Structure 1
Amino acid sequence: MMERLLVLVRHGQSEWNLKNLFTGWKDPDLTAQGVEEAKTAGAQLRDMKLEFDVAYTSVLQRAQKTLTIILEELGQQGLETIKDQALNERDYGDITGMNKDEAREQFGEEQVHIWRRSFDVPPPGGESLKMTAERVLPYYRREILPQVLSSKRTIVAAHGNSLRALIMELEKLSPEEILKRELGTGTPVIYRLNEDGEVVSVEDLAG
């Protein structure tokens, strides 16, 4: 029986992660550490003897480069890869590019915490996690899930909040539960699904 495999991986550390900036739809590159995180993710998947039939990523280079490095580690450089902005990071609007500590000084600790960690309160001009999910999940159901259900082994390299939206759906988490879910940079999470798209097992390689 063919397995229904879905692997999610957040991009490796980016230059703006390192600087503690709200990144959103801006397009910084990976740091040297981010490159190493992606190589490690690829090596972990290779050691598990995992290969993929199709790959998805966002239109942002930090996710694309992470995926490219992972596929190089797997010897799958030519794999069909689909890029779509539906998988982009949450848009932080007016606070994009701000240092998180400076934002707290300007807007107050409580307000910044609400923008970062509430489910449905967006920063000015940006998206809440709820709005991000409303963008990500229809794309997942329409494009990605059918591939997985047809037994195409699928990898998605994306971002902390676009992946949170997917994990919320896959693991049937509440808004409160998903907000507490941390995703390490460059760490694969491996899902195996049944024929109805429900999770049979999950393995987070962060340990």
Structure 2
Amino acid sequence: MSKYKLVLLRHGEGAWNKENRFCSWVDQKLSEDGVKEAQDCGRLLKQQGYKFDLVFTSILSRSIQTAWLVLEAMGQEWVPVVKSWRLNERHYGGLIGLNRAEMARQHGEEKVKVWRRSYDVTPPLIEESHPYFLELYNDRRYTTCDVARENLPRAESLKEVLNRLLPYWNSTVAPEIQKGKTVLISAHGNSCRALLKHLEGISDQDIANVTLPTGIPVQLELDDNLKPVKPRQLLGDQAKIQAAIKKVEDQGKAKQAT
């Protein structure tokens, strides 16, 4: 029997989503389309009758901006927003900033799919010579984390994302849901996928086939133990959602290169 509802949301389209680059921990604002996606999402959730008590985001701007726009569209700007690096996007290491389609041309689509979708393969570590290294590790937001900056990841598999996310879920997010609060998590493709893997018990192999498009809310109905009582539901126009899923999946194909 369904006792709790949880909504997971991958942020609206960011500037580097549009350019098909590995964005990861580089801080990007939403594109114009991403702003519209977040606003449309808020209107949809309002129509569905959602009244959020608490929102969790990462400490990346596109996640926070999405939450703000969703709450504004719902007329619920007052709802508290709690931020944690543990909900950040997966750290793509040395791949950060690279074009996915270009990488598929150079290394093959299967290799890029492994980097993007596999559960336990870690991409190459980010080196100090990487053009975005100083921007990331000198960023003041990472002085707020519950681990020392030198202990932050230099690259992550999806398994490693789940390992850093799970303690936060267990200590902070899950207890709020079990108090009866309606929670929105406005995060990223891979942090949402990692959490879905945990909640739904998705196998290491099958998680590669779970694709979340930007700006589409995912509704989960959970029992007392926060286990799903029915399949996840992507809310909105289902034809548009399927087209958006295909667009994400096609990002790793060489033919996307220009």
- Equivalent position of 1:12 in the other structure: 12
| Deviating more after overlay: 119-128 vs 99-108 | 99-108
Q: Deviations over 1:55-97 (max 9, x none)?
A: 1000001111111000001111111110000000000001100
Give unmatched runs, 5+ long, in structure 1: none
Percent of paired sites with the same residue: 40
- Equivalent position of 1:65 in the other structure: 65
| Deviating more after overlay: 88-97 vs 72-81 | 72-81
Q: Give the CA deviation at 1:106.
A: 4.0
- SS for the counterpart of 1:43 is helix
Native 8 Å contact 2:118 2:207 kept in 1: no
- SS for the counterpart of 2:42 is helix
Structure 1's 151 and 18: CA in aligned 2 closer, same or farther, altered over 3 A? Answer: same
Give unmatched runs, 5+ long, in structure 2: 126-154, 239-258
Native 8 Å contact 1:93 1:127 kept in 2: yes
Q: Give the CA deviation at 1:34.
A: 0.4
CA distance in 2, matches of 1:193, 1:87: 20
| Deviating more after overlay: 73-82 vs 111-120 | 111-120
- SS for the counterpart of 2:49 is coil
> TM-score with structure 2 length normalisation?
0.76
- SS for the counterpart of 1:133 is helix
CA distance in 1, matches of 2:68, 2:193: 22
- 1:170-185 equivalences in 2 (<5 Å): 170-185=199-214
Greater share of residues in strand: 1
| Deviating more after overlay: 57-66 vs 175-184 | 175-184
CA distance in 2, matches of 1:75, 1:19: 32
* 2:220 partner letter: Y
- Equivalent position of 2:156 in the other structure: 127
Which of these residues, 160, 170, 175, is aligned with residue 146 of structure 1? 175
Between the two proteins, the alignment pairs up a number of residues equal to 206
CA distance in 1, matches of 2:169, 2:30: 25
Q: Give the CA deviation at 1:16.
A: 0.1
CA distance in 2, matches of 1:35, 1:123: 30
When Rg is computed on C-alpha atoms for both structures, the one with the higher figure is 2
- Equivalent position of 2:233 in the other structure: 203
Q: Give the CA deviation at 1:137.
A: 1.6
Native 8 Å contact 1:53 1:153 kept in 2: yes
CA distance in 2, matches of 1:45, 1:36: 14
Native 8 Å contact 2:3 2:224 kept in 1: no
1:164 aligns to 2:170 (yes or no): no
- SS for the counterpart of 2:229 is strand
> TM-score with structure 1 length normalisation?
0.94
- SS for the counterpart of 1:35 is helix
- Equivalent position of 2:134 in the other structure: none
RMSD of the alignment, in Å? 1.5
- SS for the counterpart of 2:160 is helix
CA distance in 1, matches of 2:218, 2:117: 22
- SS for the counterpart of 2:55 is strand
Q: Deviations over 1:128-164 (max 9, x none)?
A: 1111111112211111111111101100000000000
- Equivalent position of 1:118 in the other structure: 118
